[in-house]
Amino acid sequence: MKQPPRSRGVDGARRANGAVVSLPRALSKLGFCSRTQAEALITEGRVRVDSRIIRNTMARVDPGRARITVDGQPVVAERKVYLMLNKPRGLVTTRDDPHERATVYDCLEGVDLPFVAPVGRLDKASEGLLLMTNDTRWAQRVLDPASNVEKVYHVQVDRLPDEGMLGRLAAGMEIDGERLVAKSARVLRSGTRTAWLEVILSEGKNRQIRRLLGAVEAEVLRLVRIEVGGLQLGDLPRGAVRHLTPAEKAMLDVPVCASSRLLKPPREGSARDR
């Protein structure tokens, strides 16, 4: 088999094509492991670049030109994988958790996959649609605020909202020095003491919905992401994962700017309610 062109070395790698990245990131981009795992492999002396053992986690390489091996085995780019996971409540969206909590990767056990990473995050108490992929450029496009990819959430709160509360969410607020806003917020259904809202975001900031609702004195009881850029969670069981179809992936290949259609409120026990 023809070997790929050799680079000019790790620290002197060519930068003309803009593909030079840190060695941990290169291993992640190639779908071999997470950056944290890569850093451990590097410091243990198990990674070679162009036959040289590299122990410096800050070393930079061009993954398209350098020959990278781990334990003597070549690292080659894995096939691109695009997944949808129905994240259960109580799992953290990370690969390596220092507190040894259950993670979304527990849902992938037994599934033949290359290393994949979450596209964005859902916090531990949140549920629903989580995309995962080893295509870092695609993930970055989906997450880029300029792409205006809408995310739709169904949120149960501990109070009955009025128009003033919904208006404040849509108008936006300055919270902890950061401006947060919902693209839209409406009531799906109300009980005697609680209500379900549909909240649409076109940006993704840390705990954005919880912080917005906290600012209007509403506590989030459940938070379920049901749609990303027109791609709906549907009836995927809680904790289950599946590959996106080509048509579903194509929905997110181009920035989505159109407003989401009105969605039916979730039924108790349905996939949208998880």
The answer to whether the CB of 217 falls within 8 A of the CB of 173 is no
Q: Which residues contact 238 (CB under 8 A, 6 or more apart)?
A: 86, 88, 127, 271, 274
Residues 6 or more apart whose CB falls under 8 angstroms from that of 64 comprise 4, 17, 19
Catalytic residue among 97, 123, 135, 144: 123
CA distance 55 to 39: 9
* Bridging pattern class, strands 184-190 and 195-201: antiparallel
The CATH class, in words, for 82-273 is: alpha beta
Residues of the chain with CATH 3.30.2350.10: 82-273
Each residue's pLDDT expressed in tens, for the chain with a length of 274 residues: 333 333 334 444 333 344 788 999 888 878 788 888 899 999 999 999 999 999 999 999 988 888 999 999 988 877 899 999 999 999 999 887 788 899 999 999 988 888 899 999 899 999 999 999 999 889 988 998 888 899 999 999 999 999 999 999 999 999 999 999 999 999 999 999 999 999 999 887 889 999 999 999 999 999 999 999 999 999 999 999 999 999 999 999 865 444 333 344 444 333 333 3
Which strand (E) or helix (H) includes residue 209?
helix 208-215
Return the residue matching tokens 């781990």. 70
Q: What stretch(es) of the chain map to CATH 3.10.290.10?
A: 21-74
50 among known catalytic residues: no
In the chain, % helix, strand, coil (3-state, to 5) comes to 20, 25, 55
Cβ–Cβ under 8 Å, residues 86 and 274: yes
Structure tokens at 196: 């379900």
Bridge partners (DSSP) of residue 47 are 70
Rounded to whole angstroms, the Cα distance separating 87 from 178 reads 28
As a CATH number, domain 21-74 is: 3.10.290.10
The secondary structure of residue 110, as a DSSP letter, is T
